[in-house]
Chain A
């Protein structure tokens, strides 16, 4: 029963991916579907640059910022959970809690006076906001390890470094991946809004549609962005799930906390 359900989901996702790919590679073949949404002979497919290009730059912007955020956030979380950084633990928890109440769009807008227009403010906002979920999840992962495991590792004569790399980080990995998923989802959404500050990305299609009152643009931009976000998010979820399974049930149980939701931007 359970197995069947997973299969339907996978089939649906593969189908969505195939349609998305087909649309991005040959959008003109789908023009007939979208023409009813246009007025006065307006174009049905976005024509200021190819949709594939826009998708790739969108993904590149998000990928770059999220990788940078992951490196810094995981490093910081490791630092505050070591003896040397313990002074900063309480504060960093508080900053993450406060920071996550900041709307990502506000972070984006506030980056503009500092960075000017273009890709800069989008990358900065994505990076800054992306730190929060990854840091929080890494922190939870590293600070809720079963004490017996850590003690065993110490008793086996592992140094602090070995314990971190061979025991603590691998055990925390499913939660870290979940944090990266959240950051990526928020990043994809914020990058869409980034088009209003002249970053190259899929939001451009929606903005162009809103400005020229072309529903076909709005719908194709919205659907591509939406499907992309859902597929990428599902991919990370599957990865985290597989890791948790391999690490055993103990770390999986920690994943279902009621505070863990709230990801849209």
Chain B
């Protein structure tokens, strides 16, 4: 800690120019030199890149440039996080609107197969503005409720932009329109895979964790085995599970009727369940171990039975650590469920791998962005819940 304390003091004393602001400014200015949008004759044709100046109608372009200039100014000149947060958020909104406007502006009337997509300049500027927002929110020390509110506002704005048709000329939305039904079906599959396997892992992992906490002889072997499982690459585990599940489906009466198959959702669900067990069991053990002996002794002194102690004292005190296990498992599952499409398990990976197969960038984005957003949202919400549950417990 000493190094950091030194670092903080000497920073306040010596630095006049905010070098972080310089980095952000470099990102936003550099983005202007890169193509802001790409226009392609078909969804898989190679495209021509257009810079911000060529991609937008004049008035919109001036408005976007003004917002970006103000943001650069705030990054360089203002040290107040609230100002930086406001302008960073404004820049993000302006970029989102500009992307849609570029779509409407560039889309030719005579070629419905043409595609307009945001290009590197857009992404670089977006990253720069997002860094400014992130840094400002860290410095503002937003509480858990504040973070959830910010998440809800962001999600609402994105859904709003999507529903209002502001993005309807963008290629990723065109890919979505062409397969809207399948998209929502795979969304549900993805959630069933990620959350369903986690629910199963909670139901099994909590008792197993309590068992491992109570009986020391169980603990090490169990954690070791789960550690090994966790290390096996997802594609390998999905593949390895195909063989036994296929055998069960063929040879166990009724298994096939239950939906157990060699490929498809069953091996993916089972693999995600196995992956989630380690965070559940390990965090249950760590959480229960962390409950102070004095508290347990006091509970015993009050005449609580072992069972009452466990459920009324130890488990509630271990809750933040248990929730951390759930957070790790859920974020991990949302990502891993994407791989399930390789073995026919469904989920957003269906679009991602189809897109890779067809070298269709927009389809890749349609498969890759939703799990990123979902995992991020899950992390924000669970982190907030963990913080709230840990209050007053230390």
Contacts and interface: CB of A to CB of B under 8 A. Distances in A.
A206 B286 CA distance: 36
Given A94-B138, A95-B131, A261-B283, 13 more contacts: A83-B6, A88-B20, A94-B134, A102-B375, A102-B376, A104-B335, A105-B368, A150-B3, A192-B235, A193-B235, A226-B232, A261-B230, A261-B328
A81 B4 contact: yes
Contacts of A188: 233
B371 A106 contact: yes
A49 interface: no
B15 interface: yes
A82 B334 CA distance: 36
B282 interface: yes
Interface of A: 5, 9, 37, 81-83, 85-91, 93-95, 97-98, 100-106, 109-110, 112-113, 117, 142-145, 147, 150-151, 168, 185, 188-189, 192-193, 196-197, 203, 206-207, 209-210, 215, 218-219, 221-223, 225-226, 229-230, 233, 256, 258-259, 261-265
Interface in B131-159: 131, 134-135, 137-139
Nearest to A144: B1
Contacts of B19: 87-88
Interface stretch (B55-63, B102-110, B299-307, B337-345): B337-345
8 contacts: A88-B19, A103-B334, A103-B335, A106-B338, A145-B3, A229-B233, A229-B236, A264-B332
B372 A106 contact: yes
B372 A102 contact: yes
A258 B287 contact: yes
Contacts of B359: 112, 117
Contact of B338 (A82, A103, A147): A103
Interface string B321-353: 100110011011011101100110000010011
B195 to A, nearest CB: 15
B208 interface: no
Contacts of B263: 210
A168 B2 CA distance: 12
A88 B7 CA distance: 11
B234 interface: yes
A258 B11 contact: no
B187 interface: no
Contact of B139 (A9, A37, A90, A215): A90
Interface in B175-206: none
B394 to A, nearest CB: 15
B19 to A, nearest CB: 6
B65 to A, nearest CB: 25
Given A86-B11, A109-B367, A221 B353 contact: no
A193 B339 contact: yes
